[in-house]
Structure 1
Amino acid sequence: MRWILVIVVMSFLIPISSLTYGASEPNVKKSKNNICHDKSSRSYKRTKNYIPYNTIEDCLASGGRLPKN
């Protein structure tokens, strides 16, 4: 009976874990300070709290700005 419970629980956990670990980074991240960082930006990898965008133009149109450097 326990192995049935384990199988049921695992069937729910595997799809959730594949979504979180398999997710790729967005092309552009808009930080909480409204700075748009594309993958060439020095701060791209450090930006953890962000809104994702497909293009830098979309990010800028949403009220974001380019980094100063």
Structure 2
Amino acid sequence: MSEYSGFDFEICLNLGIDTFKLLFRDAFVYRMKQTEKGREYLENAWMLKQTEPDRNRLRQRFGKEGEHVKY
């Protein structure tokens, strides 16, 4: 985290918890974006966090409301 933020280690340890957690999260995301596996991990984590359906994508795949899809 000190590498990402530019702060030395002592300053990082003396940050408020909210600032520390924000910088830690940002540093983690930055590092993960550097590799293909990391980007895949972030995408999977984002998908698992979603609680609402993507209605536009569902309509594209299955049709509009009320239409029945025949297989």
Q: TM-score, normalised by structure 1?
A: 0.27
Q: Decide which structure has greater helix share.
A: 2
Q: Decide which structure has greater strand share.
A: 1
Q: TM-score, normalised by structure 2?
A: 0.26
Q: Which has the larger radius of gyration?
A: 2
